[in-house]
């Protein structure tokens, strides 16, 4: 019998894709000649928000800003642990103004925001996982930022090196299934350097391993509440394995956002109070 999973109510921060477009190329998925169907993007995004709310989660929204087409990818704006907000400093100049608008939202909501000195792209590369923060580097967030994160939160930071430019953020190659001391994850091993793969295998011997096809379908850019997994419907093998392990997959199609290298998790900032 699969293990019984227990969901925990979450609070998510999102940004409507009112101005979403592919206007520049800062990852291999992006091509400025690609036309975005804004109506379809809105419909898909609303489906995600509806799925969160129908499963009992709270959703807050930040107002989108003209000229910032990637602001919809709320996960990159910060990482929040125990009500403490570690902000962002984007690698690409095109995205740097987003930080100010998210910082303003957090401050208005009563949070203090730490401004990083090093390039750091929020939950894109910083994944709280029980007793650790898993931290990606190689394409965006720097190792210097990993040290800042450890000093700020007082949690051990596990640096992981990404080696495939298609998986330019950690949240495209890995997501957390369960929190607490016995946290578990799902990930795609080939997105990581050999040493990082060995670290993950030692820390998470029971992890769910994704196939290349599921990783390329953004199946690892997923959100889990401990029981339900909001996931790309194209990640069929991963969906089956999660169900076998007692999780309930909730397929949500965000294929329009893949044109910018984004998916479910990219659109979702978790506020851990």
pLDDT tens, residue by residue, 125-149? 999 999 999 999 999 999 999 999 9
pTM above 0.95, yes or no: yes
Provide the CATH number for the domain around residue 153.
3.75.10.10
User: Known catalytic residue: 15?
Assistant: no
Q: Which of 15, 120, 224, 266 is catalytic?
A: 266
pLDDT at 119: 98
Residue 28 lies in a domain: yes
Q: Residue 93 is encoded by which pair of tokens?
A: 């100049």
User: Known catalytic residue: 169?
Assistant: yes
Residue 4 lies in a domain: no
Residue 195 lies in a domain: yes
Q: Residue 195 is encoded by which pair of tokens?
A: 């040493």
Residue 208 lies in a domain: yes
| CA distance linking residue 252 with residue 219, whole number of Å | 10
Average pLDDT estimate for 242-256: 97
Q: Are 80 and 270 in contact (CB under 8 A)?
A: yes
> Burial level of 263, CB count in 10 A (0-12/13-18/19+)?
buried
Average pLDDT estimate for 3-7: 83
pLDDT at 104: 98
- E strand segments, 2-138: 11-15, 58-62, 79-81, 84-86, 113-114, 126-129, 132-137
Residue 5 lies in a domain: no
Structural domain including 172 reads 11-270
Number of domain units in the chain: 1
pLDDT at 4: 75
Residue 2 lies in a domain: no
Residue 3 lies in a domain: no
| Whether pLDDT at 212 is above 90 | yes
Average pLDDT estimate for 192-198: 98
Residue 110 lies in a domain: yes
Q: Which of 120, 169, 228, 267 is catalytic?
A: 169
| Whether pLDDT at 1 is above 70 | no
pLDDT at 193: 98
Q: Are 218 and 9 in contact (CB under 8 A)?
A: no
Average pLDDT estimate for 224-252: 98
Average pLDDT, the chain: 97
> Burial level of 226, CB count in 10 A (0-12/13-18/19+)?
middle
Four-residue CA torsion sign, 47, 79, 77, 141: negative
| CA distance linking residue 105 with residue 95, whole number of Å | 17
| Whether pLDDT at 194 is above 70 | yes
Q: For residues 260 and 182, which has the higher predicted lDDT (pLDDT)? A: 260
Strands 132-137 and 157-161: parallel
| Whether pLDDT at 229 is above 60 | yes
| Whether pLDDT at 237 is above 70 | yes
């Amino acid at each position: 019998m699969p293990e019984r999973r227990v969901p925990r109510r979450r609070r998510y921060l999102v940004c409507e894709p009112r101005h979403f477009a592919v206007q520049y190329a800062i990852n291999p998925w992006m091509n400025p000649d690609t036309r975005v169907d804004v109506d379809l993007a809105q419909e898909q995004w609303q489906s995600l928000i509806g799925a969160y709310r129908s499963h009992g989660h709270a959703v807050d929204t930040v107002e989108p800003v003209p000229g910032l087409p990637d602001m919809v990818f709320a996960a990159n704006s910060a990482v929040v642990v125990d009500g403490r907000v570690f902000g962002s400093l984007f690698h690409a100049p095109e995205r740097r103004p987003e930080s100010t608008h998210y910082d303003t939202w957090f401050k208005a909501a009563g949070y203090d925001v730490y401004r990083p000195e090093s390039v750091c792209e929020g939950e894109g590369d910083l994944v709280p996982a029980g007793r650790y923060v898993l931290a990606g580097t190689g394409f965006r967030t720097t190792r210097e930022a990993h040290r800042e994160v450890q000093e700020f939160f007082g949690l051990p930071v596990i640096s992981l090196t990404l080696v495939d430019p298609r998986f330019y953020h950690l949240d495209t190659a890995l997501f957390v299934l369960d929190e607490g001391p016995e946290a578990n994850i799902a990930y795609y091993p080939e997105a990581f350097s050999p040493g990082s793969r060995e670290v993950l295998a030692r820390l998470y011997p029971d992890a769910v391993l994704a196939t290349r096809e599921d990783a390329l379908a953004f199946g690892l850019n997923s959100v889990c509440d401990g029981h339900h997994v909001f996931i790309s419907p194209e990640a069929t093998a991963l969906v089956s394995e999660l169900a076998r392990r007692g999780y309930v997959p909730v397929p949500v199609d965000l294929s329009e956002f893949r044109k910018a290298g984004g998916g479910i998790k990219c659109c979702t900032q978790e506020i851990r109070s």
